[in-house]
Amino acid sequence: MPNLSVNFLGIHSPNPYWLASAPPTDKKINVLRALEAGWGGIVWKTLGSQVKNVSSRYSSVNYNGNRVMGFNNIELISDRPLELNLREIAEVVREFPDRAMIVSLMADNTREKWHELIRQVEDTGAHGIELNFGCPHGMTERGMGATVGQDPEIARMVVEWVMEAAHIPVITKLTPNVHSVVPTGKACVEAGTNALSLINTIQSVTGIDLDTLVPNPYVAGKSVFGGYCGPAVKPIALKMLTTISQDPTTRRVPVSGIGGISTWKDAAEFMLLGATTVQVCTAAMKSGFRIIEDMCEGLSNWMDEKGFKTVYDFIGKSVPALTHWEDLDINYHIVANINQNKCIHCGLCYIACEDASHQSISLAWGKPYNTYAIKEDECVGCNLCKLICPVDGCITMVERRKGEEYLNWKEFQERGLPLNDH
């Protein structure tokens, strides 16, 4: 069987799945249930100065009959007494010494407060610290969370303060509420952080109640921008993760990937783009801690199928495949092909191509059903028909190269080749 265990900065866990800093990691009772179910590690909900949360706190985006495609929260850091959290962390570490225990922190922005909080956390026996530079609501008004993560120099300063006091590994969690995560990531690495994690939640409004006319979530007739997460943010998280994996400075440190991870396939994709561990929140809140069983089994089976013995055999393997548009081979060309034996004659491909693409599908009227075929000379290989088709494997894309040699856009321009040939 493949080995799912990871060593993250000397922190060992039996699998790469950690529960992210969030409501599921706010109490000992929750965390014990998660570890008993098989999670490899915990990132304890963010600790800091005492706060007071509001009610309600969550909202969601549902799509096509599926609940919680996107999830929004306006919850702050842990509102439980700091002493209680610290005591429970120490108790969990004693009960499960073989699991990763990371504690998320957001101290008031002074060197002394950071040093004090770090000392208190280290006394619990926790294995690592995660700096919360990402929370996009509530804490930002106090000059914390995303306010720190959005300014590389402030982030650099805070990391330097932290590294003065920390004796256990430090992970810095980046905000996605920026044009690029790389500047802040570089500043944090240069300041000494041992690792990075990303992404935190994205500032959002999930919708408006059309009866009350108040955006969700509703708090006595008002609302605020919340933090967006769940499956809908995964593509954004993967893009930002890749930029960290490609940058010469930030790729020097390991990364814990976060953002819409719901299945083992999601986890594999994050790891292929450079993450060593992955953090999960929304999926556990929606379906419970037992999802870890399928996540471990699925990843193990896929690794076995691919011949990967350990997770390190494939971490970062897909990063080189993401390049610049100008480097793509413009001689590579594909066209669609419809398998008539699988076609259910719904016409969705024809409508999509005719109205919104390149009019590359012919329609033959008939009884009892219409027939559709690809006009290869007109097909640009955009994939739209394949994506629209409701039948798996009915529409496939077939390679029809324009030329045998690799040719990118720069070379194409330098040679002065005619556009109509491509």
Secondary structure (DSSP) of 210-258: TTT--BSSPBTTB---EEEESGGGHHHHHHHHHHHHHSTTGGGS-EEEE
Tokens of 130: 């995660």
Neighbours of 3 (CB within 10 A): 15
The C-alpha atoms of residue 230 and residue 66 are separated, in whole angstroms, by 12
Rounded CA gap, 343 and 373, in Å? Answer: 10
How deeply is 222 buried, as exposed, middle or buried, from its count of CB atoms within 10 A (0-12, 13-18, 19+)? exposed
- Cα dihedral value 144, 145, 150, 152, nearest 10: 70
Backbone angles phi, psi at 310, to 5 degrees: -135, 165
281 is catalytic: no
**What's the token pair of residue 199?**
């992404």
Query: Using an 8 Å Cβ cutoff, are 99 and 37 in contact?
Result: no
Which listed residue (135, 229, 353, 394) is catalytic? 135
- Distance linking the first and last C-alpha atoms of the chain: 48
Q: Which residues pair with 280 in a beta bridge?
A: 19
Q: Which ranges in 66-198 belong to alpha helices (H)? A: 82-95, 111-122, 146-149, 152-165, 182-191
Longest dimension (CA), the chain: 80
Please report which helix (H) or strand (E) contains residue 58, including its range. Answer: strand 58-63
Q: Which of 185, 174, 98, 276 is nearest to 267 (CA)?
A: 276
Helix (H, G, I), strand (E, B) or coil at 347: coil
Q: How many CA atoms lie within 13 A of 75 on its CB side?
A: 19
Q: Is 239 exposed, middle or buried (0-12, 13-18, 19+ CB in 10 A)?
A: middle
Q: Which residues does the annotation mark as catalytic?
A: 135
